Structure 1
Amino acid sequence: MRRRGFLAAGAAAGLGALALTGCGGGEDAGAAGGDGKPRRGGRLRAAFAGGGAAETLDPHLSNLFADAARAKALYDKLADCGADMSAKPRLAASWEPGPRLDRWKVTLREATFHDGKPVTAEDVLYSYRRIADPQKTYRAKASLEPIDLKASRALDARTVEFRLKRPTAEFPNVLAAFGAYVIPRDTERFDRPVGSGPFRFVSFAPGRSCTVRRYDDYWDGAPYLDELEFVIANEESARINALLGGQIEYAHELNPATARAHENRGQIAIVRLRNSAMQAFAMKTDRAPFDDPRVRQAFFLIADRQELVDGALSGAGEIGNDLFGKGYQYYAADLPQRAQDLDRARHLLKQAGAEDLRVTLDTSEVAAGFTEAAGIFRDQAAKAGVTVKVRSGSKDTYWSDVLNSGTLCCYRSGAMPIESHISQRLLTDSSTNATHWRHRDFDAQYQQAQSTRDPRARAGVYERMQRRLHAEGGFLVWGFADWIVGTAKKVAGVRSGAPANTLDWARFDKVWLR
């Protein structure tokens, strides 16, 4: 269980890897759910894939699921994401925008750090300024970009006035950004970290384990568990065998075949976190042949989405409709589901002068299902007269390579608000614009949405933007993958339904042992 294995991420590393923002609100999962009254006491051992000796408890450096789970236990954010990716208050008791949406007043709830000191506005500003340090590479830096941190100030001990660079109607999403944890002012060392989360630090051996203990004065109520240990087990087989053998009580990131084999046998409980990862092919819209929208539309129609979900995800997911964020706030659910239509695809290709088209599809073993999806789509394209050459790249450099090179690639993303997906990946100046979708009128629509106070009117702008992406965008979104967790039968309170990295994911303060 202590062997070092591959690094596991919930989304494209370098492209919002674990994605980023999290929000929660699922239902108790079957046998792992909340049947019976919660009980206090006991020690739970949770196994995750890890990052070896380089692991850290600095929450602003979180990258892997193991990092994120430890950070959630030890620290807290001002907000986190619900199951639909809308922001839910955490350390922030409330937030209130100014009349032009370029100033927001955030009021903190009464909460304390593990050393008994109160969480203050100065702690928040220190944390955010640390994250935004231009000399550092903290994960939440891009998410905090709208804030003018030099002009932001503490109005009193529990009130922060954030001044923004522009109107930002979705500012609560910034507060919920992945890795935007609040730490005590002037903290720079994390060998014995002090946070305001539900558990306080006991011990940490990088690449091996981390033990934390219940914090009785936690603002959201003391956890039920006495202790929680994060154990590193890089290989999925090690995690499931440890769970079956009683060495752990929680195994993160199981594959679909394992879940099917054990789901109804009564030994363990299987928890499915729906819509946790968008699965797609990214077409570069500024390069031939995908600079012609008719070719992109043809590729939309070539895909047999159910075959891709069944083959590449082993059925552990649901089909997509060429848009990010199925089930999330603002998702354009009324658009008709696109289905395979090879005759129409051939007609569009002929119109575009692209008969006998030959393209290269970049893929890699960097993410589960990528190579399988590439092979399946190659065979589907052949039925429309398109020759797809599959090219497999390095796991180490795949994401940096495909951002700028090639024309078609396998792509995935973890959960984040739809607004964040647009701002980080679809604006002209977005740094991770894998499809090279660059349209100033589209940028202007985004700014219109961010300047619109009324939520219903703002939703209308997002719907119009998504209609355009559905018609001619560069993401062929064929599916949304489940993330799968296994627990011992004696574990209760583990939540299902919400995607990974949302509020209720890895929320061990609400878990108990029967």
Structure 2
Amino acid sequence: MSRIHPRIPLGASLAGTSRRAFLTAGGVAALTLAVGCTGGTAEPGPRAGTPGEGTPRRGGRLRAAFPGGGANETLDPHLANLFVDVARAKALFDKLADYGADLAPVPRLAAGWEPNATLDTWRVRLRPATFHDGRPVTAEDVLYSFRRIADPARAFRAKAASESIDHAASRVVDPATVEFRLKLPYAEFPNVLAAFGAYIVPAGADSFERPVGSGPFVFGSFKPGSSLLLRRNDGYWDGAPHLDELEFVIAGEESARTNALLGGQVEYAHELNPATARVHEGGGRITVLRLRNSAMQGFVMKTDRPPFDDRRVRQAFCLIADRRELVDGALSGAGEVGNDLFGKGCRYYAASLPQRTQDLVRARALLREAGAEGLTVTLDTAPAATGFVEAAGIFKEQAAKAGVTVQVRIGNKDTYWKDILTAGTLASYRSGAMPIESHVSQRLLTGSTTNATRWRDRDFDELYRQIQSTPDEASRTALYERMQRRLHDEGGFLIWGFADWIVATANRVRGVATNAPANTLDWARFDKVWLG
């Protein structure tokens, strides 16, 4: 099965609560999104198509091949875990917001949002929209959805995001306005509205055999582990899709998806590996599309145990890495080099920091200062993501040039993500796109439950809280840069690259967005696609 790695929901986990009056001017205005100013939707990005054939055509069925989850698949959007789950949920349901190309939230069902002065209460205004059965989408549906997601007895993906909300104190203001009260100030609360899996369902909905959503397509038929057939929603608030029908078909192996596309059985194939893309790119039979900066690739060093409890050893390992060689060798060149910081191309990314490059002389000196000459370490990896085993082998050879012996240990791909949270000291790591704030809150705070580097620093925690209490975006940006400078100098992430996400289509497919990474609004979005 193809999973979004690592299996981590978006959003922050906060504690405490209070209530304040609303302000709509001054510093708080920088956090306000109103439909009158923004139009309420994301600006359309570049979409694939042949010059001269850019006018959308209505009609036809598009068949999209994805890896699947077997006979136990569900259409419950709050249980979405696989890529195909998310693509199907996106077709049937809507969120209040979703992530734009820079991972900043943009309104969807929400027409806008505004916080109070202390950023611990947010009002969200809904746009006019209806569910597939004709019922209007209301604030009651929104509260029901988020309270369902927060159910402690359920394993919903967006649960961690919803933990910032005081669900008992949140309330319906009127049918088109919901007031979310939070447990602490949270300047980036709109990230929760856009969180992975935070779809809005009708109040009371708990069975999804024939799901009713507000999305661009309406349920037709479903065979778990095989196919889902959907029809155009002519009343969709963001404009009816061009396609008459959309069918998701399951093809677990990458070769099966590619062959189905080449043979005309499908028009869209999700997740090609770089080698396959190289073979077919420019060949004329299919169109290969690359979504840049879709997956962070790197290694995690556990900062609470030897040898990586010494900052100099962590710095040395970052200087050992030849990032271009890793991208070229492990990803077949399908990506960009990293700089030991998450979120390249994202809002708040500290692009001004100098690019780190290989410096074996300095690496040796740092190891010598740390008393770690002749160091031997075990690097855990597994075939759990593209390029993991290959990158481990390449880094082993690079480390040898600095006098470091790396012993590569290949683990169980099915338990790998759980295993590396607690075991070992050095491991291969990958993450899909998410906001930098979500990466910090989920992986780098003392209380973060998926803290693979074991980074724990009270001053760093306090800096995060300061950021979330700061209304002014320019001030927050400066604080995020300060945070990232600290991580670049001392952190446990060795981020050597950002991989392309590769999909392919039949040549007659038009309108597939190419400007946004996976996990964002325009990824796997079929309501703007048409057949030429």
What are the Cα deviations for residues 258-311 of structure 1, in whole angstroms up to 9, with x where unaligned? Answer: 111111111111111111100010000010000000000000000000000001
Contact (CA 8 Å) 2:4, 2:81: kept in 1 or not? no
Contact (CA 8 Å) 2:42, 2:107: kept in 1 or not? no
Matching residue within 70, 75, 86 for 1:68: 86
Question: Partner of 1:10 in structure 2?
Answer: 4
> What displacement does 1:440 show?
0.5
The 5-angstrom pairing of residues 7-46 of structure 1 reads 7-13=1-7, 15-16=8-9, 27-31=45-49, 35-46=53-64
What are the Cα deviations for residues 52-88 of structure 1, in whole angstroms up to 9, with x where unaligned? Answer: 0111000000001000000000000000000000000
The one-letter code of the counterpart of 1:305 is: R
Matching residue within 250, 263, 275 for 2:281: 263
Contact (CA 8 Å) 2:11, 2:192: kept in 1 or not? no
Question: Partner of 2:16 in structure 1?
Answer: none
Question: Partner of 1:141 in structure 2?
Answer: 159
What are the Cα deviations for residues 70-121 of structure 1, in whole angstroms up to 9, with x where unaligned? Answer: 0000000000000000000000001011111000000000000000000000
What are the Cα deviations for residues 112-163 of structure 1, in whole angstroms up to 9, with x where unaligned? Answer: 0000000000000000000000111100000111110110000010100000
The 5-angstrom pairing of residues 12-161 of structure 1 reads 12-13=6-7, 15-16=8-9, 27-31=45-49, 35-161=53-179
- Normalising by the residue count of structure 1, what TM-score does the alignment of the two structures yield? 0.96
CA gap of 1:20–1:279, structure 2 versus 1, over 3 A, is farther
Please give the alpha-carbon distance, in whole angstroms, between the structure 2 residues aligned to 1:25 and 1:303: 38
Contact (CA 8 Å) 2:131, 2:137: kept in 1 or not? yes
Question: Partner of 2:258 in structure 1?
Answer: 240
- Normalising by the residue count of structure 2, what TM-score does the alignment of the two structures yield? 0.93
Question: Partner of 1:183 in structure 2?
Answer: 201
Matching residue within 198, 219, 231 for 2:216: 198
1:303 maps onto 2:297 in alignment? no
1:376 maps onto 2:370 in alignment? no
Contact (CA 8 Å) 2:68, 2:82: kept in 1 or not? yes
Matching residue within 244, 248, 256 for 1:230: 248
Contact (CA 8 Å) 1:24, 1:502: kept in 2 or not? no
CA gap of 1:145–1:34, structure 2 versus 1, over 3 A, is farther
Please give the alpha-carbon distance, in whole angstroms, between the structure 2 residues aligned to 1:39 and 1:28: 18
Please give the alpha-carbon distance, in whole angstroms, between the structure 1 residues aligned to 2:393 and 2:47: 34
CA gap of 1:26–1:108, structure 2 versus 1, over 3 A, is closer
Please give the alpha-carbon distance, in whole angstroms, between the structure 1 residues aligned to 2:463 and 2:52: 44
The one-letter code of the counterpart of 1:356 is: G
The 5-angstrom pairing of residues 394-413 of structure 1 reads 394-413=412-431
Q: Which one is further off, 238-247 or 326-335?
A: 238-247
The 5-angstrom pairing of residues 409-448 of structure 1 reads 409-448=427-466
Q: Which structure 2 residue ranges, 5 or more long, are not aligned?
A: 13-40
Matching residue within 360, 363, 366 for 2:381: 363
What are the Cα deviations for residues 313-359 of structure 1, in whole angstroms up to 9, with x where unaligned? Answer: 11100000000000000000000000000000000000000000000
Please give the alpha-carbon distance, in whole angstroms, between the structure 1 residues aligned to 2:119 and 2:338: 33
1:450 maps onto 2:468 in alignment? yes
CA gap of 1:248–1:254, structure 2 versus 1, over 3 A, is same
> What displacement does 1:11 show?
1.5
The 5-angstrom pairing of residues 448-487 of structure 1 reads 448-487=466-505
Please give the alpha-carbon distance, in whole angstroms, between the structure 1 residues aligned to 2:156 and 2:531: 35
The one-letter code of the counterpart of 1:280 is: G
CA gap of 1:126–1:32, structure 2 versus 1, over 3 A, is farther
Q: Which structure 1 residue ranges, 5 or more long, are not aligned?
A: 1-6
> What displacement does 1:462 show?
0.4
Q: Secondary structure at the match of 1:143?
A: helix
Contact (CA 8 Å) 1:32, 1:269: kept in 2 or not? no
Q: Secondary structure at the match of 1:509?
A: coil
Question: Partner of 1:4 in structure 2?
Answer: none
Contact (CA 8 Å) 2:48, 2:512: kept in 1 or not? no
> What displacement does 1:497 show?
2.1
Q: Secondary structure at the match of 1:373?
A: helix
Question: Partner of 2:526 in structure 1?
Answer: 508
Contact (CA 8 Å) 1:34, 1:492: kept in 2 or not? no
> What displacement does 1:504 show?
0.4
1:213 maps onto 2:207 in alignment? no
Question: Partner of 1:339 in structure 2?
Answer: 357
Q: Secondary structure at the match of 1:510?
A: coil
Please give the alpha-carbon distance, in whole angstroms, between the structure 1 residues aligned to 2:3 and 2:334: 17
Contact (CA 8 Å) 1:20, 1:416: kept in 2 or not? no
Question: Partner of 1:491 in structure 2?
Answer: 509
> What displacement does 1:463 show?
0.4
Q: Share of identical aligned residues, percent?
A: 71
Please give the alpha-carbon distance, in whole angstroms, between the structure 1 residues aligned to 2:263 and 2:349: 42
Contact (CA 8 Å) 2:273, 2:386: kept in 1 or not? no
Please give the alpha-carbon distance, in whole angstroms, between the structure 2 residues aligned to 1:186 and 1:219: 22
Matching residue within 293, 296, 317 for 2:311: 293
CA gap of 1:170–1:258, structure 2 versus 1, over 3 A, is same
What RMSD, in angstroms, separates the aligned Cα atoms of the two structures?
1.4
Please give the alpha-carbon distance, in whole angstroms, between the structure 2 residues aligned to 1:242 and 1:397: 30
Please give the alpha-carbon distance, in whole angstroms, between the structure 1 residues aligned to 2:106 and 2:95: 10
Number of aligned pairs?
A: 504
What are the Cα deviations for residues 386-421 of structure 1, in whole angstroms up to 9, with x where unaligned? Answer: 000000111111111110110000000001000000
Question: Partner of 1:3 in structure 2?
Answer: none
Question: Partner of 2:33 in structure 1?
Answer: none
Q: Which one is further off, 364-373 or 321-330?
A: 364-373
Please give the alpha-carbon distance, in whole angstroms, between the structure 2 residues aligned to 1:404 and 1:330: 29
Q: Secondary structure at the match of 2:161?
A: coil
